[in-house]
Amino acid sequence: AAGVIQSPRHLIKEKRETATLKCYPIPRHDTVYWYQQGPGQDPQFLISFYEKMQSDKGSIPDRFSAQQFSDYHSELNMSSLELGDSALYFCASSATEKYNEQFFGPGTRLTVL
Amino acid sequence: AQSVTQLDSHVSVSEGTPVLLRCNYSSSYSPSLFWYVQHPNKGLQLLLKYTSAATLVKGINGFEAEFKKSETSFHLTKPSAHMSDAAEYFCVVSESYGGSQGNLIFGKGTKLSVKP
């Protein structure tokens, strides 16, 4: 079965650079969620989109923005990167008829030097 | 506000013995509760979920959890541990409100070690 696809899987950036993470949800899933998991930490919710509209917002820094496109894929844009942004970024998707069941992608590991 | 507390940061068992990972939740609304597993350098996999149906929930790989409203608990159990069960386990809550799919609130995680 198709799963959530995230790209790239690994990304190395320097401070103050920008990064774009991409997420391709499971086909027919209309909701996308982004989570950040720091080293040794639990995942923290950043932001979610339903039918291309932002549906909920968590602890996403102002330097980050995200959007969901017409094909339901989502991109997380990160600017002015800081050392503390080094983390594993997960995308999850869900479908309206499968209420509250989120399927996670493998994550993108971002390292900021 | 909703939250989950995982009572043990690290649990160590011997292969073939029972596993108990404890979780208590706090929620103002009718909660949906989940257990996710994360193997080293891997993504998050859903083990099981409770969404106000049967209080005893069976998941994958022989795991199950029981929702106890009176104790606000959702402990994860398995009768017999396998070496492959060694991983980090997260108890997760999501509030149900207005028919929307809420974001997930993760516990701090319990690292399960399995000794031969």
Spell out the domain ranges in chain A. Answer: 5-108
Tell if the CB–CB gap between B101 and A99 is shorter than 8 Å: yes
pLDDT at position B98, please? 47
pLDDT at position B100, please? 45
pLDDT at position A95, please? 86
pLDDT at position B94, please? 83
- Domain B3-115 CATH assignment equals 2.40.30.10: no
Residues of B in contact with A31 (CB under 8 A): 101
Tell if the CB–CB gap between A104 and B49 is shorter than 8 Å: no
Mean residue pLDDT of chain A comes to: 92
Residue B96, Ramachandran bin (φ over 0: left; ψ between -120 and 50: alpha; else beta): beta
List, as own/partner pairs, every contact residues B98-103 make where C-beta atoms lie below 8 angstroms and the sequence separation is at least 24, other chains included: B100/A50, B100/A55, B100/A56, B101/A31, B101/A50, B101/A55, B101/A94, B101/A96, B101/A99, B101/A100, B101/A102, B102/A56, B102/A100, B102/B32, B103/A33, B103/A45, B103/A48, B103/A56, B103/A58
Q: List pLDDT tens digits, range A15-40.
A: 999 999 999 999 989 899 999 999 98
**CATH architecture of the region A5-108:** Sandwich (2.60)
Spell out the domain ranges in chain B. Answer: 3-115
Residue A57: closest CA among chain B residues belongs to which residue? B103
Of B42, B43, B109, the CB nearest to A42: B109
- Look at A1 and A41; give whichever has higher pLDDT: A41
Q: List pLDDT tens digits, range B44-101.
A: 999 999 877 788 999 999 999 999 989 999 999 999 999 999 999 999 988 655 444 5
Q: Phi/psi of residue A39, each to 5°? A: -55, 125
Q: List pLDDT tens digits, range B3-46.
A: 899 999 999 999 999 999 999 998 777 788 999 999 987 889 99
What is the rounded average pLDDT of the residues A50-71?
92
pLDDT at position B87, please? 96
pLDDT at position A56, please? 86
Q: List pLDDT tens digits, range B102-115.
A: 678 899 999 999 99
Task: Give dist(CA A44, CA A41) in Å, integer.
Answer: 9
Tell if the CB–CB gap between A45 and B101 is shorter than 8 Å: no
pLDDT at position B86, please? 96
Residues of A in contact with B103 (CB under 8 A): 33, 45, 48, 56, 58
Query: Is B69 touching A (CB cutoff 8 A)?
Result: no
Q: Phi/psi of residue A30, each to 5°? A: -110, 0
Residues of B in contact with A90 (CB under 8 A): 43-44
- Look at A44 and B42; give whichever has higher pLDDT: A44
Contact predicate B90/B112, CB 8 Å: no
